[in-house]
Chains A and B, each alone.
Chain A
Amino acid sequence: ILNVEQSPQSLHVQEGDSTNFTCSFPSSNFYALHWYRWETAKSPEALFVMTLNGDEKKKGRISATLNTKEGYSYLYIKGSQPEDSATYLCAWGGAGGSYIPTFGRGTSLIVHP
């Protein structure tokens, strides 16, 4: 079983704060890294899929970076809003196995008004 670790496990911030969390994954045989947003009582929704070292993706106030050589990705949220409250999942796909992404356990973000 390949380890995909996310930190912190949970995070409480105030509205307007900027925040970031980390996804760590095996640096060998990297193929793709996914980020998903998962709101309570809904299904996970894809934010980004990154494949190249140094990739940076942005969607509104949310952005992500990728370092495949050292095996980590950061997700940033600028000016957090209560509607950003969700669990953020990352998933690592490796070329050494089936390529199917392995999910981390997620970071739960709660933004207080």
Chain B
Amino acid sequence: NAGVTQTPKFRVLKTGQSMTLLCAQDMNHEYMYWYRQDPGMGLRLIHYSVGEGTTAKGEVPDGYNVSRLKKQNFLLGLESAAPSQTSVYFCASSYTRTGGDGYTFGSGTRLTVV
């Protein structure tokens, strides 16, 4: 029972490089989310999706793009990485928008932009 799987777990990028973070869930959840976690800031919502083919902006969407081509996958892209995007990124999913029984989180991706 995998739950939510994030790849990669660690990555170092140079400023200006691009990359895609993959989130995959096997629980048939409709809702998926990308958060970033910075020291002293808590979890901040970047983008979310309410179903296959849909995406919406969260609190801190600038510099990121997302896609949800398949229900089980939610991709987060950085087109031109900046040092300010150094963070730990968490993907989460849920049955309902309000969380239902709570969100299921992935194990995180630690990204460093130099």
A45 neighbours in B (Cβ, 8 Å): 105
Minimum C-beta distance from B58 to chain A (A): 8
Most buried by B among A1, A101, A104: A101
* A21 on the B face (CB < 8 A): no
Q: How many residues of A contact B (CB 8 A)?
A: 26
- Which listed residue, A47, A93, A105, touches B40 by the CB 8 Å rule? A105
Option from A32, A99, A105 in Cβ contact (under 8 Å) with B41: A105
Contact A34 B102 (CB under 8 A): yes
A residues in contact with B107, CB < 8 Å: 42-43
Partner of B43, one of A47, A51, A99, A103: A103
Q: Are A34 and B56 in contact (CB-based, < 8 A)? A: no
A91 touches B106 (CB 8 A): no
Once bound together, how far apart are the Cα atoms of A26 and B101, in whole Å?
21
The total of chain B residues at the interface (CB under 8 A) is 26
B29 to chain A, nearest CB (A): 13
A89 touching B43 in the complex, CB below 8 Å, given contacts A1-B59, A98-B56? yes
On whether the beta carbons of A101 and B104 are closer than 8 Å, the reply is no
The answer to whether A31 and B42 touch across the interface, beta carbons within 8 angstroms, is no
B99 touches which one: A42, A101, A105, A106 (CB < 8 A)? Answer: A101
Please list the residues of chain A having a beta carbon within 8 angstroms of any beta carbon in chain B: 1, 31-32, 34, 36, 42-49, 51, 89, 91, 93, 98-106
